[in-house]
Chains A and B, each alone.
Chain A
């Protein structure tokens, strides 16, 4: 869906939009290329979908390119992804070979475009080696790491570090994720699009329709975790927490998600989660296609409490989405969830299934507090995690890099 910056006026106000135009006026016509590894599924693809539209609408020439690869390439990049998050992985010479081959093949397809761009944003490790294949590059290259790489598995980091060190700058979602690198390291938290299918307001009838479609009981509380079926999201821990609940009326748990196109492990985790659910009629495991944005939106709006019990997390956009819908969030004490969930204000941070069960019970007992925390969560997202802030920081980053990284740039 093509986005228009003016349509966000009613959400963030006239002056915030005017601020973006003034910043962008200094970058008119600059070519900006973003490269990632998948067009569909996952937070990065969702961000790029609107970011490209809005940058173009603001007068830049923005493009989105996707790495093409074979199954061995995606298996290798999954290992790199897990390794950066701290998992011990069997990262072999054949993985490196598959990775290098994909980088070279994609570079031959994209070289002219990348070499001629004013700014190239390389998202995550999958396309990182493209820089080495573009020796004639003229613009600034930025490695945008969306992953919590604070405690990587050393062999993977030792291999990746010299590749990403050559960039002009890197961007991490939180200071905690940043690695020491020999270039400026910026911090940009992700954001959500309040007008997207996943976040826009929905007619009540549509929410009710989704409740019926998944055989949920509208008379009992609904607890929802939306996330890919990934071990770091701890869906099994959520089921354990749910089983500890002894409250009346018995709530229902919806675990909804899907496997992203670049995630070959998803199916195995989904099977494990199904086995743990043991056909409990109140545990609804919903394997949704990647374009189920309105369904996810409706599920979040139908929920009393949003859960995101991750043990490792990048930023946790599903937390942001839940908060935007004025819901309190019970989140794992990890990564970017810490930035968003504040005890007794926007939800609760938890460290175990027991902790999650305790906080769910607490919230179900205090509906008025739930409402107040939901309102606080919504205001927090409006002020900090909407895409207009995100676009503003990208523009500021480009201005900063173009004019030499200093504390202050005074624009004419």
Chain B
């Protein structure tokens, strides 16, 4: 069993422009997706959760949201929406998937679909500062209280970005919990089953709190 406490980190993000012109039609979107930086793609798929934006889990990435809301192309929105950045081998592999879908849709269209003025796609990325929040989790039973107090930025860093960073190993919480005994294993199994694609950060936090609470209550009941 691990004796190292979990160091809760936090992060702060500021959005910056990618430096590419905005896209006002599908062809421009395809061209710029091929040219934009990996950080830009990562931002539109993953970091978007940290931006000041309306939480709308209907769309799992900015390209799908734009296809539906600005272009009015629900077929394209569905195809883009199902892409999973966490299971992609790399950002370049993800770029290949997006490009293929856009190419396919262009081939199906008899004209180039365009958007109304003011509804272009803007390519952005972010600068992020990562720092120690000062919070520590010493044993699995403390995770509930920690999750309740944690900022959404910490949830993002450990659960969302952690999952992208660790791939098969899962998020940071699960990785730590698994090395902390039977209770840790049970908590890890529960929280790692959450599909981050369908939650805003606030609802993700609530989900993690509820799952941890259920496991801890169940264990407390069992030990009585």
Q: Do A and B come from one complex?
A: yes
Q: Report Cα–Cα, A338/B53, bound state, in Å.
A: 10
CB of B112 within 8 Å of the partner chain: no
Q: How far is the CB of A128 from chain B (nearest CB, A)?
A: 19
From A12, which residue of chain B is reached at the shortest CB distance?
B151
Q: Report Cα–Cα, A149/B171, bound state, in Å.
A: 41
Interface size on B, residues (CB 8 A): 38
Which residues from chain A contact B19 at a C-beta distance below 8 Å? 180, 185
Which residues from chain B contact A342 at a C-beta distance below 8 Å? 54, 56
CB of A204 within 8 Å of the partner chain: no
From B122, which residue of chain A is reached at the shortest CB distance?
A175
Which residues from chain A contact B39 at a C-beta distance below 8 Å? 407
Which of A13-21, A95-103, A208-216, A365-373 lies on the face that meets chain B? A13-21
Contact B54 A15 (CB under 8 A): no
The 5 closest A-B pairs by CB, nearest first: A175-B122, A384-B52, A411-B131, A187-B15, A185-B17
7 A-B residue pairs with Cβ-Cβ distance under 8 Å, sorted by A, are: A13-B149, A22-B132, A185-B17, A187-B124, A188-B15, A342-B54, A409-B130
Which residues from chain B contact A23 at a C-beta distance below 8 Å? 12, 129, 131
Q: How far is the CB of A400 from chain B (nearest CB, A)?
A: 4
Q: Report Cα–Cα, A406/B151, bound state, in Å.
A: 24
CB of A246 within 8 Å of the partner chain: no
Interface residues of B in 103-148 (CB under 8 A from A): 118, 120, 122, 124-135
Q: Report Cα–Cα, A411/B22, bound state, in Å.
A: 33
From B134, which residue of chain A is reached at the shortest CB distance?
A18
Q: Report Cα–Cα, A390/B53, bound state, in Å.
A: 14
Q: Report Cα–Cα, A209/B207, bound state, in Å.
A: 44
Beyond A15-B149, A189-B52, A339-B53, whether A410 also contacts B130 by CB under 8 A is: yes
From B130, which residue of chain A is reached at the shortest CB distance?
A410
Which residues from chain B contact A222 at a C-beta distance below 8 Å? none
Contact B133 A397 (CB under 8 A): no
From A23, which residue of chain B is reached at the shortest CB distance?
B12
Which of A175, A186, A409 has its CB near the most chain B CB atoms (within 10 A)? A175
CB of B75 within 8 Å of the partner chain: no
Beyond A23-B131, A408-B128, whether A176 also contacts B10 by CB under 8 A is: no
Beyond A384-B53, A407-B125, A409-B127, whether A15 also contacts B17 by CB under 8 A is: no
Q: Report Cα–Cα, A95/B140, bound state, in Å.
A: 68
Which residues from chain A contact B35 at a C-beta distance below 8 Å? none
The contact size tier of chain A is: 35 or more
Q: Report Cα–Cα, A385/B150, bound state, in Å.
A: 19
CB of B152 within 8 Å of the partner chain: yes
Interface residues of A in 286-333 (CB under 8 A from B): 333
Q: Report Cα–Cα, A397/B118, bound state, in Å.
A: 26
Beyond A407-B127, A411-B129, whether A175 also contacts B17 by CB under 8 A is: yes
Q: How far is the CB of A167 from chain B (nearest CB, A)?
A: 14
Q: Report Cα–Cα, A345/B55, bound state, in Å.
A: 10
Interface residues of B in 3-47 (CB under 8 A from A): 10, 12-17, 19, 21-22, 39
Contact B12 A19 (CB under 8 A): yes
CB of A106 within 8 Å of the partner chain: no
Encode A395-412 as 1/0 by CB contact (under 8 A) with B. 111011000011111110
Q: Report Cα–Cα, A411/B54, bound state, in Å.
A: 29
Which residues from chain A contact B22 at a C-beta distance below 8 Å? 175
Beyond A19-B153, A187-B16, whether A405 also contacts B127 by CB under 8 A is: yes
